[in-house]
Amino acid sequence: MAIQPQFYLLLSAGVFCAGLFGVLTRSNALMFLMSVELMLNAANINFVAFSFYYGNVTGQVFSLFVMGLAAAEVAVGIGIILVLYRNFGDIDVTGPVTMRR
């Protein structure tokens, strides 16, 4: 007996909300990055769940793509955080607002 898809959706929504909560409340850039990863993986859960449900592997392929993309994004993100630290001595994202205008 397979697990009903709505449970996957609930799990994915929960993970996504956790990620969103992190993005909205944290000011540490690393925490930011992790929260974004959570949101991405929430999407991945959906991909895999529906792929399983419909018996179509396209969704699983997509989730692999998203993982690869996430890895690349982390690499860029860490790079940005390093530069941020070098220039501002801190990785607080609310601090640097000089690009505002």
Count of residues that bind another protein according to CB under 8 A: 14
CB 69 within 8 A of CB 81: no
Q: Which two tokens stand for residue 45?
A: 């859960």
CB hemisphere CA count around 94 (13 angstroms):
7
Binding mask 24-53 for another protein (x = CB under 8 A): xx-x----x---------------------
Contacting another protein (CB under 8 A), which of 6, 55, 76, 94? Answer: 94
Strand, coil or helix: 26: coil
Separation in Å, CA 44 to CA 21, 38, 83, 86, 100: 18, 10, 30, 33, 33
The CB-of-93 to another protein minimum distance in angstroms stands at 5
In the region spanning residues 56 to 75, those forming contacts with another protein, defined by CB under 8 A, are none
Tell me: does residue 100 bind another protein (CB under 8 A): yes
In the region spanning residues 74 to 93, those forming contacts with another protein, defined by CB under 8 A, are 93
Residues of the shown chain interacting with another protein in the complex, contacts defined by CB under 8 A: 20, 23-25, 27, 32, 93-94, 96-101
